[in-house]
């Protein structure tokens, strides 16, 4: 396994290494972030600070992982 450091990210160069990293990012953006936002937005018995925290965590998860997904895809494209 080779590791190439670029832009403070380690890109694992194996047959499926980068695909595994990116798959997790897609799951975070498409599932975990929206579930957190939904859980915070739905009226429930949760305290307001917990609901607001869930919404903020969900939004931050989507933003952070989408940004890194795009950045890694660009790095992989540049490596070709």
Residue pLDDT, tens place only, 4-37: 444 444 444 544 566 778 889 999 999 999 999 9
Residue 13: predicted pLDDT:
52
Give the residue with greater pLDDT, 7 vs 50: 50
* Segments making up each domain of the chain, as ranges: 22-79
* Residue 40: burial class (beta carbons within 10 Å; 0-12, 13-18, 19+): buried
Its pTM stands at: 0.76
Structure tokens at 80: 């070709």
Give the residue with greater pLDDT, 57 vs 4: 57
Mean pLDDT of the 50-74 span: 95
CB 18 within 8 A of CB 78: no
The whole-chain average pLDDT of the chain stands at 83
């Amino acid at each position: 396994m080779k590791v190439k450091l670029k832009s403070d990210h380690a890109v694992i160069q194996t047959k499926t290494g980068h695909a595994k990293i990116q798959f997790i990012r897609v799951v975070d953006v498409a599932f975990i972030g929206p579930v957190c936002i939904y859980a915070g937005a739905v009226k429930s018995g949760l305290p307001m600070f917990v609901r607001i925290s869930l919404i903020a965590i969900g939004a931050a998860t989507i933003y952070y992982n989408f940004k890194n997904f795009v950045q890694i895809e660009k790095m992989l494209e540049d490596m070709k």
